Amino acid sequence: MFAISIAPSQNATQPGKPVWNVGASVFVIVTMTNNSNRTLHLSLIDPAFDNRMTVQDDTTGQPVSETEQYRKIKEAQKSHFQGARLVVVILKPHESCHDTIDVSYLYDLSHSGEYSIQVERDKPTELGSGGVQSNVIRAKITQ
């Protein structure tokens, strides 16, 4: 009824290959698609909080550490919520919309290696509670 998928991007606007150099911004483009027969409403406030991410080091199998910037943002959100934007998206049946996440701003991808990235988002309220998971991207960070 509602699906999300992610694609790698080097420039935050166009899909690309899942390979980045160390120090480059690692973007994913999130596509949200209404596969239902009714109109759905989404709010896009802050990509870091609209979505939940799983970023894992494929070599160790361990979660990747959050960046200091992300920890500070999360701490500030506890005392008062401050969204970067407030966009209400209306998705008619079978329409899609896109958003972009700078994964490297949120998670420490400063070392070469291979990582798995997945995004989860709450379903629109019209579809009840629960989350929807994206596909998994295998990202490669090279020297």
Q: pLDDT for 90-106, tens place per residue? A: 999 999 999 999 999 99
Beta bridge partners of 141: 20, 113
Using CA of residue 121, residue 28, residue 84, residue 93, what is the dihedral sign? negative
Residue 76 Cα distances to 69, 80, 82, 103, angstroms: 11, 7, 9, 19
| Average pLDDT of the chain to the nearest whole number | 93
Q: What is the predicted pLDDT for the residue at 80?
A: 67
Strands 19-21 and 131-142: parallel
Q: Rg (Cα) of the chain, in Å, rounded?
A: 16
Beta bridge partners of 28: 8, 101
